[in-house]
Structures are given as structure tokens and as C-alpha cells.
Amino acid sequence: MKELRTQVAIVGAGPAGLLLGHMLHLQGIESVILEHRSREYVEKRVRAGVIEFGIANLLEEVGAGERLRREGLVHRGIELRYDHSAHRIPLSELADGKIYTVYGQQEVVKDLIALRVAQGAPLHFDTEVTAIEDVNTTAPYIDARCGDEDLRVHADFVAGCDGSFGASHRAIPSDVFRRYERVYPFSWLGILAEAPPATEELIYGRHENGFVLYSMRSPTISRLYLGVRPDETLDQWSDEQIWDELAERLSTDERPEVNRGPILERGITAMRSVVIEPMRYGRLFLAGDAAHIVPPTGAKGMNLALGDVRVLAEALDTYYVKNDEALLDAYSATCLERVWRAEEFSNYMTQMLHPNYEDEFENGVQRARLRQATQSREAATVLSRNYVDLNTM
Ligand code: RFL
Ligand code: PHB
């Protein structure tokens, strides 16, 4: 067995693990990142696209925002569509001039991997962490497997950044561990298409057939989503049926509908809200999807993950520089306050925009919420602030 020793062992090279490794490097703290998948796989995984104001600033401050600033699309509003009419929410106007950026998660991941590789800092792909041990002592270690080789990494701390299917939370004993969950009765069918977006701003729509979202990645690439029933599968949808349904759900009396083009990627994602408490046990710290999941309607998943890392990197820095554990002790409570706010907002957006196929009372409430969000300046202001900058406010 090969053995390594580092200060912080990081499980997972998603946005959370990679940003943590990078911030620790800037602070002169050593880390080893272990990632189950290949580099090619994580760089190609299409997921989130909306980056909050403060999170984009954070990436820039740590030297990981250069391409984001150059290629990211700056947005100042969103459109809400319901009952066949369109309503713009002027987010920036209502949120102190703050903007948000549309830039694919896999681009953030590529940028952070390139920095790590250029630094020559340890990043092991194709390496699955199989056990995290002794987190309740000052000498935790993790076991991993890379091909035929076993690897053991000894560390001062372990950061569980292994996402919603990860296993690091299992190192928290059952009498301490709590998991709060809500499963929604719908999924998202998402496509990436080679087609210029027919809209400048993101459009979130509630149509009687279901939810719809029009987003983009560049002036030539569109990203769109349809709310579907949880038991639906991709093979039930032809490309043409997807485009027809998108056009129908986006149609209003006066606006263009969609620009069609070749579909480059398609996938179905179930919708869940999950919070794990506490986010710290002994020397194990959970960050990102390993600790919480939000339904994507509020565009919070990746932002929340990077928000956790900001808190954790500072807490580890304070520990190593001043030998002060106060921020590490506060980590879980500090993060959970923001996590529950993001859960609330994601749940609000989700419940407002996904019609319920059975419950007409719920549908009446949803329409009232949409009217309030688009007609009351106070309600639109709360929505705008949460959408544009929830994680660093
Ligand atoms: P990630 O990105 O899931 O990264 C975790 C990494 O850990 C690795 N891993 C392991 N490595 C070693 N050993 C093990 N035992 C391991 N187990 C797992 C995984 O291979 C992976 O590389 O978590 P992170 O860094 O916390 O980042 C969070 C974001 O990825 C996530 O919040 C968002 O992408 C959520 N999300 C979306 N958010 C949005 O705002 N908009 C979206 O459109 C959107 N689409 C999505 C999504 C999440 C999805 N899944 C499956 C979780 C679509 C999907 C399919
Ligand atoms: C995306 O562009 O993938 C996207 C945008 C907004 C969301 C979710 C996903 O709420």
C-alpha cells in the first residue's frame, strides 16, 4: 500500500473540492485531492450555469475568474412566464446593481483543474475513496483505490466534498447524524443544443403542462429544461417532441418561442431538497452537495457549494496561522444558517413554478405567488436579492 501525508485530505474534485484545494494552496496549506472519476469525465459533466455576484467575485479574487470574466455572460434580469404572458424581473435594479454571470459549471471545473495542475499540487483522478477513519482523533486517514493500487492518506483534516452520491457523511455516527429530505413529484429533462438562444435573459415558465426554463451557455449554445413526471425516461422523448413541448410551454402572445438546433446532450435529474446536520464531525468537514442538495430551480447548488468552501478555507487558515479553532468550531452553524436560506429560496422557486397535476388548490396558490412576485416591488426585491447574491450577503 502506498502511503501519503498531507495537511488536508480532500475527497472529490467537483467545484467544492477543487476550490478548497486552490484556496488552501494560496494560504500555504498542503492538500491532496482524490477524485473517483477521470479528468475527462469531470471536465465534461454538464450541470449548473448561473454564478452569483459574490461567488464570481470570490473566483476572481483567488485568481480563478479570468476566463469567467472574459467568456461569461453578464445578466441583469430574468423573465417569469405564466398564464401565457411574460413578466421581467429587473434583478440588478432591485438588488443594489448586482449582476449574475452565466458560465457553465464544467468551465469552472476546467479552470480550477488547470490551476491545480500548473501549481503541481496533488490531484489524483480515477481514485475512489473507500473509507474515512479516525475522524474523531487528531490523526484521521482515508483509504482509496486507484486501479490495482491501494492508497492511504494521513491528514490533519478531511474535507468531504464528494457530492450527493458521496460517502463521506457515513463517517458521522448515527446518533449524531441527521438528514432532512423532501422529494418532489417531478424531474427535469435538460438539453444542451447547438442553437443561438432566442432570448437574452433566462426565462422561467409555469405552463399547465409543466415547468420550463430557457437558459444558455454562449451566443450559439442553448440550455433548456422541461419539468417531467418522475417516472419519465429519456427514450420516451424524441428530439422533435422535446422542441415542440418547449415551444408550447414558452409560447406567449407576443414573444418568440425557441430556436431549434442539434441536441448535443440530454439528461434527466430528479428533484430533491436535502440537508445533513451537522456539517462537521471531529476532523471531518462536509462541503457542497455532500452536505446539502437543492432543487435547481433557484440556481443555488454550485453557489452554495463554493460558499461553504469560502467559510472552510478561512477557518483552516485561522487554525494553521493562529492555532485558533474557533472558526472550525463554528463552521457547521455558520454554513447551515445560509444553507437553510438557500433551501427556503429553492423550495419557494420550485413550488411556485411547477404546476401540481392533482391539486387545484395548490395551483391557485402558485398563481397568486407568481402574481405577487411580478406585481409587488417588495416581493420582487426579496426574489432578486436571493437570486443574485444569496451566498455572500
Ligand atoms: P460534485 O460536483 O458532485 O462533485 C463531487 C465529486 O466527488 C466525486 N466523488 C468521489 N471521489 C472520490 N471518492 C469517492 N468515494 C467519491 N464519491 C464522489 C464525484 O465524482 C464528483 O466529481 O459536488 P460539489 O463540488 O459539491 O458541487 C456541487 C454542484 O455540482 C451541484 O450543486 C450542482 O451541479 C447541482 N446541480 C445543478 N445546480 C444548478 O444550480 N443548476 C443545474 O442545472 C444543476 N444540474 C446538478 C445538476 C446536480 C446534478 N447531480 C447529479 C448531483 C444536474 C445533476 C445531474
Ligand atoms: C442552467 O443554465 O443550467 C440553469 C440555469 C438556471 C437554473 C438552473 C440551471 O435555475
Ligand 2 close to Cβ of residue 295 (< 6 A): no
| For the CA of 162, the nearest ligand | 1
Average pLDDT for runs of 10 along the chain of length 393? 97 98 98 98 93 98 98 97 95 98 97 98 98 97 96 98 94 97 97 96 96 96 97 96 96 82 96 98 98 98 98 98 98 98 98 93 96 98 98 85
Using the atom order of ligand 2, give the atom closest to the CA of residue 297: 10
Return the HEC string of 125-185.
CCCEEEEEECCCCCCCEEEEEECCEEEEEECCEEEECCCCCCCHHHHCCCCCCEEEEEEEE
Q: From the CA of 299, how far away is ligand 2's center (Å)?
A: 5
Query: pTM for this structure?
Result: 0.97
Half-sphere exposure of 334 (CA within 13 A, CB side): 21
Residue written as cell 457542497?
288
CB neighbours (10 Å) of residue 3?
10
Q: To test ligand 1's pocket by mutation, which of 128, 162, 222, 345 has the most ligand atoms within 8 angstroms of CB?
A: 162
Mutate-to-test residue for ligand 2 from 215, 265, 353, highest number of ligand atoms within 8 A of CB: 215
Q: Is 11 in the pocket of ligand 1 (CB under 6 A)?
A: yes
Q: Which of 15, 22, 36, 75 is catalytic?
A: 75
- Protein residue with least CA distance to atom 4, ligand 2: 49
175 burial via Cβ count (<10 Å: 0-12, 13-18, 19+): exposed
Determine which residue's CA is closest to atom 1 belonging to ligand 2.
49
Task: Give the per-residue SS3 of 23-61.
Answer: HHHHCCCCEEEECCCCHHHHHHCCCCCEECHHHHHHHHH
List helix spans (H) across 282-359.
301-322, 326-353
Residue range 91-111, pLDDT digits in tens: 999 999 999 999 999 999 999
Terminal C-alpha separation, the chain: 46
Asked about 300 being catalytic, the answer comes back as: yes
CB 172 within 8 A of CB 281: yes
In a 10 Å sphere around its CB, with 0-12 CB exposed, 13-18 middle and 19+ buried, how is residue 176 labelled?
exposed
Per-residue confidence (pLDDT) for residue 257, from 0 to 100 = 80
Q: Check: CB of residue 59 under 8 Å from CB of residue 65.
A: yes
Cα 32 to middle of ligand 2, angstroms: 31
Length of the chain: 393
Residue 179 Cα, ligand 1 centroid: separation in angstroms? 18
Using only C-alpha atoms, the chain has a radius of gyration, in whole angstroms, of 21
